[in-house]
Amino acid sequence: MRYLKSILVVAVLVIASAFTTNIEDSYKIGDTVEDFKLKNIDDKMVSLSDYPDAKGFVIVFTCNMCPYSVANEDRIIALDKKYKGLGYPVIAINPNDPKAMPGDGFAEMKVRAKEKGFTFPYLLDEGQKVYPKFGASRTPHVYIVSKPEMKLEYIGAIDNSSRNPNKVTEKYVENAVDALLAGKKPMKTETRAIGCSIKTL
């Protein structure tokens, strides 16, 4: 009976893994990004196609609990304030499974967004199907997408001092979006920063 149970467990895992996206298959620079439909903190569904006038998007995987995400919140708000009017709004997505991370639930997202005065959508990646497509591995993790081709132009950190906003000397995302708005390609397309791993059960 126990043997049968083990076989069943293995079978379930194999089937489950067949339906999950491998990180190796995730978007690379230059790839076309698929649209998605996720629930916002105002309970309405949001897709990238809801923004016909946008020139592109600054997609940020972030959450409530990670100290690195929290340290970057003001900068994420500043990015939205600067670039929404120029055609590159911020779209924030919480990739964590609330069951694995109490404090990152939908209700808590609403509270945090209100406390900080988020000016952008804050979506929950319910079912955790979207973040693996992007290959997001930590929070915060930024993906810049340009229209009309929905091309992935940048992956990485907001700037070169994730933990301490007072020591920033290179603003990766601003430089990338400025380049795209000027019809050029970003000089740096991929950067790294410390962050919290994404929580799954």
Partner 1 sequence: MIKKFFYFLYFIFFLFSCNKESSKSEFKEITTVKSYTYNELKPMLERADGKTYVINFWATWCAPCVKELPAFEKIKEEYKEKNVEVILVSLDFPKHVDKRLIPFINKKKLQSKVVLLDDVNEDFWIKAIDSTWSGALPATLIYNSKKRAFFEKNFVYETLEKEVQSFL
Q: How many residues bind partner 1 (CB under 8 A)?
A: 22
Q: Does the protein bind partner 1 through residue 192 (CB under 8 A)?
A: yes
Stretch that binds partner 1, among 36-44, 65-73, 90-98, 110-118 (CB under 8 A): 65-73
DSSP assigned state of 198: P
List the structure tokens of 180.
């795209």
Which range of residues in 46-54, 64-72, 88-96, 123-131 is near partner 1 by CB under 8 A? 64-72
By the rule CB under 8 A, 93 interacts with partner 1: no
In the range 139-158, which residues lie near partner 1 by CB under 8 A?
156-157
What is the rounded CA–CA span in Å between residue 68 and residue 96? Answer: 15
**Alpha helices for 31-153 (secondary structure H):** 67-83, 106-116, 130-134
**Applying CB under 8 A, which of residues 164, 182, 183, 201 lies at the interface with partner 1?**
164
Q: Is residue 76 within 8 Å of 90, Cβ to Cβ?
A: yes
Return the structure tokens found at 22.
């491998």
By beta-carbon proximity to partner 1, the closer residue of 46 and 66 is: 66
